[in-house]
Amino acid sequence: MVQIDWSQEQLEVILSPGDERQIVDAGPGTGKTAVACKRIAELINRGFCAPHEIIVVSFTNTAVFEIRERIKSYLETQELSASIRVTTLDSFAGKLRFGFDSISNPSETFEENISRASRLIFTNHDVKEFLKSIKHLIIDEAQDIVGERNFFIMRQQDCSCLSRACS
């Protein structure tokens, strides 16, 4: 397990109760992603949720890989990291549609994909039920989520009792 000298503010986020919503707002290079990864590991290590009840969203596949590896390094049982859904926002929307939307158009833009996934949240009962099974949605670099992508994330919140840890 990786050892880091966490600040008091970071520890407050990492060790806060499992049902507490968190928004981490700090400048570049202050450890927001590391804190989010440690928080995820602590939620699992302390039994607040199972790995499959967590979705972590980032912007690039490189960041997704890095986040997965960081979480794994903080977990008491590293094998549990395989069940955590760490994905890009566009990929998550696509997977949601693949599982619940019968209409697929390979020539759709990323914006159209996000928009259709957003609509599914309120129009498809099975999507609502799926989202209720997610206890924690952690968004890396949340300040960069704008427009239709922000709407997509906010719709998930409206539909379930998700915790938010944004970095």
pTM of the model: 0.80
Which comes out higher in pLDDT, residue 145 or 162? 145
Largest CA distance in the chain: 49
pLDDT at 164 over 80: no
Tell me the pLDDT tens digit for each residue of 90-130. Answer: 888 888 888 888 776 777 888 888 888 888 888 889 988 88
pLDDT at 162 over 80: no
Average pLDDT over residues 142-152: 63
Question: How far apart (Å, rounded) are the C-alpha atoms in residues 165 and 167?
Answer: 7
pLDDT at 150 over 80: no
Tokens of residue 60, six digits: 């690039």
Average pLDDT over residues 158-162: 45
Which of helix, strand or coil describes residue 146? coil
pLDDT, residue 165, reads 45
pLDDT at 3 over 60: yes
74 CB contacts (<8 Å, ≥6 apart)?
A: 1, 2, 37, 38, 40, 41, 42, 45
pLDDT, residue 153, reads 67
pLDDT at 7 over 80: yes
Domains of the chain (ranges, CATH numbers): 21-166 (3.40.50.300)
pLDDT, residue 27, reads 81
With residue 156 as reference, give the H or E element that holds it. Answer: helix 147-159
Which comes out higher in pLDDT, residue 46 or 165? 46
Mean pLDDT of the chain: 83
pLDDT, residue 50, reads 96
